[in-house]
């Protein structure tokens, strides 16, 4: 399961354990849309689970959340379009420390509009920074983008936007993901899942409280490349606690 979880987080990148899933087409609308993901194949059964992401973050429980420690180095070396999102592949050597455990940054990607909501507010863009510890346990750091001034980091990334599914473009020079995070690292936390099939649960979700800015032109550029919204609908919180 740990291997499968990590492979899924890498969005099926060269993982033989997920060969079957690669042949199961899923989408964000129609017969293969989110409401039917769990029915497409038994391997997607978790999509009907009780601890799914995204959620509306509200009803917070006060908790003693320890500060996050980001140890990000320059490592975003390739940007690709997999048909479901635009993803930046990250070289080894960068991590975030959560509760004393190091989670290595594997990749980051984007959803428009946002998948999670904060107190009922949706954002035009959300970034997911996907990490894994040495045992394959996953942690996703989510950053909300609010429409406003142009984002200088996205400006350089978007200069290499892969226009077609399957396109991969080298990033020269490589990028530092830390530059996309808000300066204030206050966060919410909850237990959830991957937001795409196989929707595996047991993922640690860290949602940054403060958004960063993105321009309308940058939002529109991403949407034009994707050609469709790529956000999964909100899922029930059920018995979970959302900590702040």
Confirm if 113 and 233 have CB atoms less than 8 A apart.
no
For residue 240, give the nearest of 215, 209, 203, 198 by alpha carbon: 203
Cα angle, residue 104 at apex, residues 189 and 181 outer, rounded to 5°: 55
Structure letter (DSSP) for residue 223: H
DSSP 1-29: -HHHHHHHHTTSSS-GGGHHHHTS---SS
Report the distance separating Cα 180 and Cα 79, nearest Å: 15
Among candidate residues 23, 25, 84, 128, the one labeled active-site is: 84
Instruction: Note if 109 is an active site residue.
Output: no
| Catalytic site positions | 84
């Amino acid at each position: 399961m740990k291997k499968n979880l990590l492979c899924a987080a890498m969005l099926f990148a060269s993982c033989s354990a997920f060969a079957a899933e690669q042949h199961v087409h899923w989408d964000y609308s129609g017969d293969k849309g989110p409401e039917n993901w769990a029915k497409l194949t038994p391997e997607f059964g978790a999509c009907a689970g009780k601890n799914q992401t995204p959620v509306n973050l509200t009803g917070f429980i006060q908790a003693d959340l320890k500060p996050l420690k980001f140890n990000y180095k320059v490592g975003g070396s390739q940007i690709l379009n997999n048909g479901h999102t635009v993803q930046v592949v990250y070289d080894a050597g960068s991590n975030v420390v959560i509760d004393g455990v190091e989670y290595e940054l594997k990749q980051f990607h984007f959803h428009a509009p946002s998948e999670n909501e904060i107190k009922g507010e949706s954002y035009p863009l959300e970034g997911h920074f996907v990490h894994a510890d040495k045992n394959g346990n996953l942690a996703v750091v989510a950053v909300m983008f609010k429409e406003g001034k142009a984002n200088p980091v996205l400006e350089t990334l978007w200069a290499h936007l892969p226009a077609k599914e399957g396109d991969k473009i080298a990033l020269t020079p490589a990028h530092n993901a830390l530059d996309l995070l808000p300066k204030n690292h206050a966060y919410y936390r909850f237990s959830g899942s991957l937001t795409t099939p196989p929707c595996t649960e047991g993922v640690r979700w860290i949602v940054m409280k403060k958004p960063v800015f993105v321009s309308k032109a940058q939002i529109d550029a991403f949407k034009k490349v994707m050609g469709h919204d790529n956000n999964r609908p909100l899922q029930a919180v059920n018995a979970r606690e959302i900590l702040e």
